[in-house]
């Protein structure tokens, strides 16, 4: 086993139950692993399956552990408005279990899951484990539709395990990450895979959220703002990379196009422009009060 | 009794008789379209009434929006709108609130008149309304839970009473990213936390029912006589069936809903044979206004507004990659199953790589089991290459496009997402028409306003929110745009035998307009007023302020 990545321990809330995300493309062995974890478990844990594929988690094992298995159905594709997720996470909190395992959909990006699950109240994201099918890896990594996804699932995981191939990590996987271990096909699971493993050591709550490279905003300049004043503002703020839009005066409108190297303002034929867009570098706010 | 409506002009979308001045209707069915003179063989034989209410108006086939989401609309429409732009909603006029003071006064006014358990305001925008803060909401009412949802939907603020109701404490959110407890602000990823807490309220029966009632008014006000619910089961299949039947299968509903089930939901935990049995049963038990048929909705790549569309090279400016909503091989398996069973298949595709996977699936299906007139439809189609459009035509695919993307996003996406060339050619609809593809427009409401005239205006003029024309080579003619919200939209839903154009034998679904979208200045198409609709012969006037 390779060493686990160090995890942040700040902001860890002790009363929260640890949440492990199991990611990986279809056929990587996620359900098989979860069934093995259930068979090995020393304390009951709950499983949420976020996939509309067949539910194959062994119900008998769940029942034996007094845990719960839930399948999520759906909701809005771009936000989290879903009766299901909220109700089920909330319902689960009443149950007696010590940890939650979230089986990701095969096409879920690990980083996005990490940020979403880290927001679930009553749970603390402990780790993201990505499984990769060692036999299928060469095909997946050369597939135009899938290779970016597979690489992302590997890059965003705390721990990557190859499944199904016994003769060492496949060279195509080894070449993209040095952090891939092998999941033994039988016998006891590594202790680190126990859902509650990280509970006493650390938690991680800000996974995957990076400061944005650029910010942008549309402003509505005051009517007496001239191109000259706008240009001066841009010069004074070296973080501004791009400005485009309209200065609308009482009688005319001017279309402005600016980059750091170039400032152009020309009268517009129509005055229906709506605002002026700024793009600037870094995550600090820009004060636009001089312009509005 | 025959009812004869006369009008300044009747645009039929029937190529053999494109224009007329009178239309005869009996028992909800069109007997003939023509002139009072040409209708006389009917009129001398039967009692009739000549109705002149619309004699100064223009009649077009009833508008059809083949893709919207009633369940999603039901979440948003119960919120109280306080916005910088004025909105005309059927149940209220929303004034423009242009200052922080105006925003607060609107909150005060609404707060005094309604008794919602949580008061949710939508439309706050820093530029006009100033910085939001929980103390500002506390000042409106300290005892009552209040949420101010940002216009972008990516951010909200709560007051202290709301946080107390939802059990949110400093400790429970400490350390979570993108949440500020002191100001009550939840944004981007932090918003997911807030939404999970709010879900039980925003999806409660009372609000959901109110939302659907409001959707009914929105659909009518837009001039529709048919809409497609393009993913029944988006939130909860059974609940959606029960609630929509209760609210829409009523004599006062002036439109029908063509229901297309969410493929992943209906196949979940079922063999394909079991799925088919369920869907056949639903079709057999369709009611007059609510109809399932042999249709299904599948999903390829991620949401367009979230920049999760899957793109062919060179991808996004910042190098991020999109998402698959369904693994490509699973999508292909679903396509093949439903194809063999003779279904009309609708696939959500937003990026050109999403289109690629859907077309590959269609090509495989055609190779294995060729079908004609199958109605396979690419839904949304934000980005597609000209070569893909040619292949789509060769494979017999149709296109149902969300052209509002171009209006709302092309300016920003040129700068921030994909660069100018691809941003300016999103919604490549002229290429689709030139290729001879059946092409329709939809709103995907609430992704775009449910106003066909507005979408026609975008398709004809391609002017974005910044006032700039984008990709003029892809502008449609007004006639093409009208076809895209009438007859072509009917074909997308597979119901063109009985609606979508005005000719003898079709149902009398009409939309009455103040002016002709074919002759008015193209820049004014969106300003044409919808005067009334006629659904299966019954007039449903539209009140305007």
pLDDT at A15 over 80: no
Pair B173, B308 in one domain = no
Contact call for B308 and A279, based on CB within 8 A: no
CATH at residue B318: 3.20.20.140
List, for residues B388-397, the tens digit of each pLDDT value: 999 999 999 9
Listed residues B432, B456, B484: the one ending a domain: B484
Pair B197, B304 in one domain = no
Q: What is the mean pLDDT of residues B487-503?
A: 98
Total domains, chain B: 2
**How many angstroms separate the CA of residue B398 from the nearest CA in chain A?**
23
Instruction: Give dist(CA A84, CA B141) in Å, integer.
Output: 31
Contact call for B127 and A219, based on CB within 8 A: yes
Listed residues B202, B230, B251: the one ending a domain: B202
Nearest residue in B to A151, CA atom: B321
What sign does the dihedral B414-B420-B421-B427 (CA atoms) show? positive
pLDDT at B118 over 80: yes
Highest mean pLDDT among A21-30, A111-120, B438-447, B470-479: B470-479
Is the CB of A222 inside 8 Å of chain B's CB atoms?
no
Residue B360 belongs to some domain of the structure = yes
Q: What is the mean pLDDT of residues B148-164?
A: 89
The per-residue pLDDT for A200 is: 39
Residue B290 belongs to some domain of the structure = no
Do B402 and B370 touch, CB atoms closer than 8 A?
A: no
Residue A177 sits at the vertex; the CA angle it makes with A172 and A183, to the nearest 5 degrees, is: 80
pLDDT at B210 over 80: yes
CB contacts, 8 Å: A25 with chain B: 327
Nearest CB to B196 within list A120, A242, A275: A120
Contact call for A119 and B318, based on CB within 8 A: no
Contact call for A52 and B268, based on CB within 8 A: yes
For B531, the token pair is: 């005067």
List, for residues A195-208, the tens digit of each pLDDT value: 665 443 333 333 33
Is the CB of A168 inside 8 Å of chain B's CB atoms?
no
Pair B194, B308 in one domain = no
Residue B354 belongs to some domain of the structure = yes
The per-residue pLDDT for A207 is: 34
For B51, the token pair is: 């109705």
pLDDT tier, A83 (very low <50, low <70, confident <90, very high otherwise): low
Best probe of the B interface among A24, A92, A107, by most B CBs < 10 A, is: A107
Q: What backbone phi and psi angles, to 5 degrees, belong to B180?
A: -120, 105
- In this prediction the ipTM stands at 0.76
Question: Any idea where the domains of chain A sit in the sequence?
Answer: 17-193, 214-281
The per-residue pLDDT for B175 is: 63
Best probe of the A interface among B76, B129, B177, by most A CBs < 10 A, is: B177
- Higher-confidence position of B201 and B45: B45
Highest mean pLDDT among A156-170, A235-249, B334-348: B334-348
Instruction: Give dist(CA B92, CA B195) in Å, integer.
Output: 26
Secondary structure of B321-361 as H, E, C letters: CCCECCCHHHHHHHHHHHHHCCCEEEEEECCHHHHHHHHHH
Nearest CB to B269 within list A55, A86, A220: A55
Contact call for A73 and B265, based on CB within 8 A: yes
pLDDT tier, B126 (very low <50, low <70, confident <90, very high otherwise): confident
Write the DSSP string, B45-66. TS-EEEE-TTTTSEEEEPEEEE
CB contacts, 8 Å: A94 with chain B: none
Is the CB of A80 inside 8 Å of chain B's CB atoms?
yes
Residue B6 belongs to some domain of the structure = no
pLDDT tier, B300 (very low <50, low <70, confident <90, very high otherwise): very high
Contact call for A87 and B200, based on CB within 8 A: yes
Write the DSSP string, B165-209. HTT--HHHHTT-TTEETTTTEEETHHHHHHHHHHHHHHTSHHHHH
pLDDT tier, A3 (very low <50, low <70, confident <90, very high otherwise): very low
Contact call for A149 and B326, based on CB within 8 A: no
Do B89 and B81 touch, CB atoms closer than 8 A?
A: yes
Nearest CB to A26 within list B172, B330, B466: B330
Look up the domain containing B435 and give its range. Answer: 295-484
The per-residue pLDDT for A280 is: 82
Residue B495 belongs to some domain of the structure = no
Pair B170, B308 in one domain = no
Residue A109 sits at the vertex; the CA angle it makes with A103 and A112, to the nearest 5 degrees, is: 95
Contact call for A106 and B197, based on CB within 8 A: no
The per-residue pLDDT for B315 is: 96
The per-residue pLDDT for B253 is: 97
CB contacts, 8 Å: B178 with chain A: 209
Pair B308, B446 in one domain = yes
Specify the CATH superfamily of domain A17-193.
Answer: P-loop containing nucleotide triphosphate hydrolases (3.40.50.300)
Least confidently predicted of A65-74, A155-164, B58-67, B154-163: A65-74
- Higher-confidence position of B199 and B246: B246
pLDDT tier, A211 (very low <50, low <70, confident <90, very high otherwise): very low
Is the CB of A8 inside 8 Å of chain B's CB atoms?
no
Contact call for A121 and B325, based on CB within 8 A: no
The per-residue pLDDT for B189 is: 66
Q: Where are the alpha helices (DSSP H) in B462-532?
A: 478-484, 487-493
Best probe of the A interface among B75, B156, B189, by most A CBs < 10 A, is: B189
Listed residues B202, B227, B249: the one ending a domain: B202
pLDDT at B403 over 70: yes
């Amino acid at each position: 086993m390779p060493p686990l990545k160090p995890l942040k321990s700040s902001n860890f809330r002790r009363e929260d139950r640890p949440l492990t995300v199991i990611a990986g493309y279809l056929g990587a062995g996620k359900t098989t692993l979860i069934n093995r974890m259930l068979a090995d478990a020393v304390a009951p844990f709950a499983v949420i399956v976020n996939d509309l594929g067949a539910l194959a988690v062994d119900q008998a094992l769940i029942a034996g552990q007094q845990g719960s298995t839930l399948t999520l159905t759906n909701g809005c594709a771009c936000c989290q408005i879903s009766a299901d997720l909220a109700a089920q996470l909330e319902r689960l909190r009443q149950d007696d279990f010590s940890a939650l395992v979230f089986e990701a959909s095969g096409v879920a990006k690990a980083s996005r899951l990490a940020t979403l699950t880290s927001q679930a109240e009553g749970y603390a994201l402990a780790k993201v484990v990505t499984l990769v099918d060692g036999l299928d890896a060469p095909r997946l990594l050369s597939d135009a539709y899938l290779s970016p996804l597979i690489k992302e699932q590997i890059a965003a995981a705390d721990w990557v395990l190859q499944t199904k191939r016994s003769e060492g990590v496949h060279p195509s996987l080894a070449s993209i990450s040095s952090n891939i271990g092998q999941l033994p096909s039988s016998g006891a699971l590594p202790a680190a895979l126990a859902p509650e493993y990280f509970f006493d050591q650390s938690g991680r709550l800000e996974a995957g959220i990076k400061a944005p490279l650029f910010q942008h905003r549309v402003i509505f300049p005051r009517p007496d703002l001239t191109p000259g004043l706008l240009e001066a503002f841009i010069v004074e703020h070296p973080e501004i990379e791009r400005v485009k839009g309209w200065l609308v005066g009482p009688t005319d409108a001017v279309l402005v196009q600016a980059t750091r190297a170039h400032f152009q303002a020309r009268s517009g034929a129509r005055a229906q422009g709506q605002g002026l867009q700024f793009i600037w570098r870094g995550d600090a706010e820009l004060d636009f009060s001089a312009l509005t | 009794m025959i009812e004869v409506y006369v009008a300044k002009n009747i645009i039929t979308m029937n190529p053999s008789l494109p224009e007329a001045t009178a239309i005869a209707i009996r028992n909800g069915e069109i007997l003939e379209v023509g002139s009072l003179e040409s209708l006389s063989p009917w009129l001398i034989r039967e009692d009739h009434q000549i109705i002149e209410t619309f004699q100064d108006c223009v009649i077009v086939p009833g508008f059809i929006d083949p893709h919207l989401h009633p369940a999603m609309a039901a979440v948003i429409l119960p919120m109280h709108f306080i916005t910088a732009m004025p909105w005309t909603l059927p149940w209220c006029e929303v004034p423009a609130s242009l200052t922080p003071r105006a925003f607060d006064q609107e909150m005060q006014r609404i707060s005094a008149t309604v008794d919602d358990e949580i008061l949710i305001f939508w439309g706050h925008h820093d530029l006009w309304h100033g910085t939001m803060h929980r103390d500002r909401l506390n000042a409106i009412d300290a005892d009552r839970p209040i949420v101010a949802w940002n216009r972008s939907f990516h951010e909200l603020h709560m007051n202290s009473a709301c946080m107390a109701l939802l059990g949110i404490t400093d400790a429970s959110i400490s350390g979570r990213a993108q949440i500020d407890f002191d100001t009550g602000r939840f944004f981007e990823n932090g918003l997911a936390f807030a939404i999970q807490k709010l879900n039980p309220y925003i999806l409660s029966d009372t609000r959901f029912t109110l939302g659907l009632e409001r959707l009914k008014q929105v659909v009518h006000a837009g001039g529709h006589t048919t809409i497609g619910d393009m993913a029944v089961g988006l939130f909860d299949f059974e609940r959606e069936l029960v609630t929509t039947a209760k609210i829409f299968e009523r004599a006062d509903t002036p439109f029908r809903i063509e229901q297309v089930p969410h493929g992943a939901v209906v196949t979940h935990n079922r063999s394909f044979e079991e799925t088919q049995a369920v869907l056949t049963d639903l079709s057999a038990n369709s009611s007059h206004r609510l109809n399932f048929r042999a249709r299904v909705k599948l999903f390829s790549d991620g949401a367009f507004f979230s920049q999760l569309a899957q793109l062919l090279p060179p991808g996004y400016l910042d190098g991020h990659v999109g998402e698959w909503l369904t693994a490509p091989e699973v999508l292909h398996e679903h396509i093949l199953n439903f194809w063999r069973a003779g279904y009309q298949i609708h696939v959500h595709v937003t990026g050109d790589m999403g289109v690629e996977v859907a077309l590959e699936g269609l090509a495989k299906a055609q190779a294995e089991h060729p079908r004609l007139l199958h109605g396979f439809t690419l839904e949304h189609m934000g980005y597609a290459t000209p070569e893909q459009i040619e292949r789509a035509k060769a494979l017999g695919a149709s296109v149902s496009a969300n052209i509002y993307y171009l209006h709302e996003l092309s300016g920003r996406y040129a700068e921030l997402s994909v660069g100018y060339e691809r941003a300016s050619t999103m919604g490549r609809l002229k290429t689709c028409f030139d290729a001879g593809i059946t092409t329709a427009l939809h709103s995907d409401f609430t992704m775009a306003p449910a106003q066909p005239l507005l979408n026609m205006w975008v398709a004809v003029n391609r002017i974005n929110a910044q006032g700039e024309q984008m990709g003029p080579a892809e502008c449609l003619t007004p006639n093409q745009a009208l076809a895209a919200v009438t007859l072509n939209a009917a074909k997308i839903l597979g119901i063109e035998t009985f609606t979508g154009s005005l000719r003898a034998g079709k149902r009398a679904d009409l939309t009455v307009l103040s002016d002709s979208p074919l002759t008015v200045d193209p820049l004014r198409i969106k300003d044409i007023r919808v005067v009334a609709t006629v659904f299966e012969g019954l007039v449903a006037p539209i009140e305007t302020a």
